[in-house]
Amino acid sequence: MSELVQINHLKVDLMSISGLIHAVRDINLTISSDEIHGIVGESGCGKSMTAKSILRLHDESKVEYSGEILYDGGRDILKMNKKDLLKIRGNDISMIFQDPMTTFNPLLRIGDQISEALLIHQKISKAEAKERSVEMLEKVGILPGAARYSMYPFEMSGGQLQRASIAMSLICSPRLLIADEPTTALDVTMQAQILKLMKQLQREMHSAVLIITHNFGVIAEICDKVSVMYAGQIIESGDVRKIFSAPCHPYTKDLIDSIPRSGERATKLTSIPGAPPKLNHTINGCAYAPRCKYAAEKCCCEAPEFRTLDGGHRYLCHLAHDSLTKGGATE
């Protein structure tokens, strides 16, 4: 396993009417080839901003990046010229978006939109591109591929469109697939199918996947590694199983606790009180302190530093937790 994308000290500032918003504040993230990495967090925590930064999809007249995003051990995507960036987009790194109904251009045939990426990135004939697109459609379970190739987006259902958009993003066999809430707009049965399909294709094609979600269930189902984001920072990251069984950051624990469990007949759903902080000013101390059950005095004024455990598990907290599930903080 080699490091495919390495994000170092990434900061993303967004110019808005209400002033500068620090949407992503200094994150470090490594995605290895062959792994499925998940980013989880509440709405507005900067997870989607981070994902889109990898392909530099933000309107650069309104967004300012700093830090670096190294691709394949060297080239910094943030400093790349337009030409090189176009070569990477769709070919080396591709993306699936949240709402399959609006992902496709409504006026062009599904198949033509899939083969467009092939025709741009590879020197092949139109007939060959079509052949490969049909194959890809069948691979993602859209049958018969040849007939579906010439359909328009409005003729397909949401689930089928999300399959088609997976086909579109994998057509050039990218080394990294970024999926930005790929199942949020789908119903639950379709969600499971799409996740299964993504996992299966990831194994077949040996590509890395970065999946963005607010749903810990999705992470548990397909990810190898997870990074938990809060207020524009990664507050805990590591192996999914470890984090699930023994979360170390209070936010991660609260997030896991708020997953409704079947079998239990709770009178009330567990939720985290309060709301994430506004991101238009600097945050002193720990961003989670105002909502944290374990908050100590220094949490509100002193920025915490990462603590590292075995197997690359690290978390951003003042308090050393053995494991929060066993109750309480030590120190």
Partner 1 sequence: MGKFILKRIGQLILSLFIASILVFIFVRLSDTDPVAVILGGKQTSQETIQAIKEKFNLDKPLFQQYLLWIDGLFHGDLGLSFKYQTSINELIGPRILTTLGLVSASSVIALVIAIPLGIFCAVKKHTLWDRAGSIFSLILAGCPSFFVSILLILLISAVAPTYPFTGTYANFAEYCQRLFVPSLALACTMIALASRVMRSSMIDQINAPYTMTAVAKGVPQSRILFKHNMKNAVIPVIAIVSIQIGSMVVGAVLVENVFSLSGLGSFLVDSITSSDYAVVQDITIMLVFLFLVISTLADIIYAAIDPRIRLK
For residues 152 and 294, which CB has a smaller minimum distance to partner 1 in the complex? 152
CA distance 231 to 45: 5
Shortest Å distance, C-beta 123 to partner 1: 14
What stretch of H or E contains 225?
strand 225-230
227 bridge partner residues: 39, 237
CA distance 210 to 292: 28
Neighbours of 35 (CB within 10 A): 16
CA distance 7 to 68: 6
Q: What is the DSSP letter of 45?
A: S
Shortest Å distance, C-beta 170 to partner 1: 12
Shortest Å distance, C-beta 105 to partner 1: 5
CA distance 281 to 139: 47
Shortest Å distance, C-beta 209 to partner 1: 15
CA distance 324 to 251: 10
For residues 115 and 191, which CB has a smaller minimum distance to partner 1 in the complex? 115
Shortest Å distance, C-beta 157 to partner 1: 15
For residues 84 and 297, which CB has a smaller minimum distance to partner 1 in the complex? 84
Strands 176-180 and 208-213: parallel
For residues 164 and 195, which CB has a smaller minimum distance to partner 1 in the complex? 164
Shortest Å distance, C-beta 318 to partner 1: 39
Shortest Å distance, C-beta 92 to partner 1: 9
For residues 112 and 239, which CB has a smaller minimum distance to partner 1 in the complex? 112
Residues binding partner 1 (CB under 8 A): 55, 57, 86-91, 94-95, 97, 99, 102-108, 116-117, 120-121, 152, 154-155, 165, 168-169
Sign of the CA dihedral with 287 first, then 282, 215, and 1 last: negative
- The angle subtended at Cα 15 by Cα 14 and Cα 21, nearest 5°, is 50
For residues 177 and 292, which CB has a smaller minimum distance to partner 1 in the complex? 177
Helices (H) and strands (E) in the chain, counts: 11, 12
Strands 36-40 and 208-213: parallel
Strands 314-316 and 306-308: antiparallel
Shortest Å distance, C-beta 103 to partner 1: 5
Q: Mapping DSSP to helix (H, G, I), strand (E, B) and coil, where does residue 275 land?
A: coil
For residues 71 and 104, which CB has a smaller minimum distance to partner 1 in the complex? 104
For residues 61 and 282, which CB has a smaller minimum distance to partner 1 in the complex? 61
